[in-house]
Amino acid sequence: MKLKRVLQYAQFLLQDTVEAGDIVVDATAGNGYDTTFLAQLVGENGHVFAFDVQKQAVESTQNRLQVEGLSKRVSVILDGHENVDQYVKETISAAIFNLGYLPGSEHEVITKPNTTLKAIESLLSLLKVGGIIVLVIYYGHEGGKEERDQVIEYVSHLPQKKVHALRYEFINQKNDPPFIIALEKMKEL
């Protein structure tokens, strides 16, 4: 297959950007798949800060990291990504978001436009020049389309000399498939 699937493309972007020793953020830890992937990329001298507001997600992420022997490289934080500034003081090379609800949970806790946008703004200022933020946008659930639209509205007005904003999306698939927004920082904001 020539065209990378959405999740493959998200991982490709991270892999292409993150180097051993880097500091990175998983803004929505969920079941911890991306946290684990990032922990492998940063190596033993790097660090991952992973956020989730649900205890269930934090525990699931911690368990996965433990099984993989990667716990030491990761701080799993039970708090919203909108508070990332309070925990991360270093320059980061990448961040990832999976918007929506935690798969396998009640669909009550979902990411929300205001907090998502606040987190993107904070992460853009923590990001090094050449770093990227990847958002995997799931929008099939209630409230998902509002969040999608607000994120697109926000990122499409970022100054183009400072941030390159990309949308990667299959346009002939049914059932609201997720798509990617990727932001590459080109200059200090």
Residues that bind ligand SAH (CB under 6 A): 28, 30, 51-54, 57, 80-82, 98, 100-103, 109, 111, 115, 138
Least separation in angstroms between CB 47 and ligand SAH: 18
Least separation in angstroms between CB 127 and ligand SAH: 18
Q: Which is nearer to ligand SAH, 80 or 131 (CB)?
A: 80
Q: What is the DSSP secondary structure assignment for residue 143, as one 8-state letter?
A: T
Q: Which is nearer to ligand SAH, 22 or 97 (CB)?
A: 97
Go through the chain and tell me how many residues it has. Answer: 189
Q: Which residues contact 137 (CB under 8 A, 6 or more apart)?
A: 99, 147, 148, 151, 178, 179, 180, 181
Distances (CA, A) of 47 to 40, 167, 177: 10, 28, 31
Least separation in angstroms between CB 109 and ligand SAH: 5
Q: Which is nearer to ligand SAH, 71 or 115 (CB)?
A: 115
User: What does the H/E/C string look like for 67-94?
Assistant: HHCCHHHEEEEECCHHHHHHHCCCCEEE
Q: Which is nearer to ligand SAH, 164 or 167 (CB)?
A: 167
Least separation in angstroms between CB 169 and ligand SAH: 16
Helices of type H across 29-176? 33-42, 55-68, 84-87, 113-126, 144-155
Q: What is the DSSP secondary structure assignment for residue 121, as one 8-state letter?
A: H
Q: Which is nearer to ligand SAH, 109 or 186 (CB)?
A: 109
Distances (CA, A) of 145 to 17, 135, 151, 175: 29, 14, 10, 13
Least separation in angstroms between CB 80 and ligand SAH: 3
The residue nearest ligand SAH at its CB is: 100
Tokens describing residue 25: 């953020």
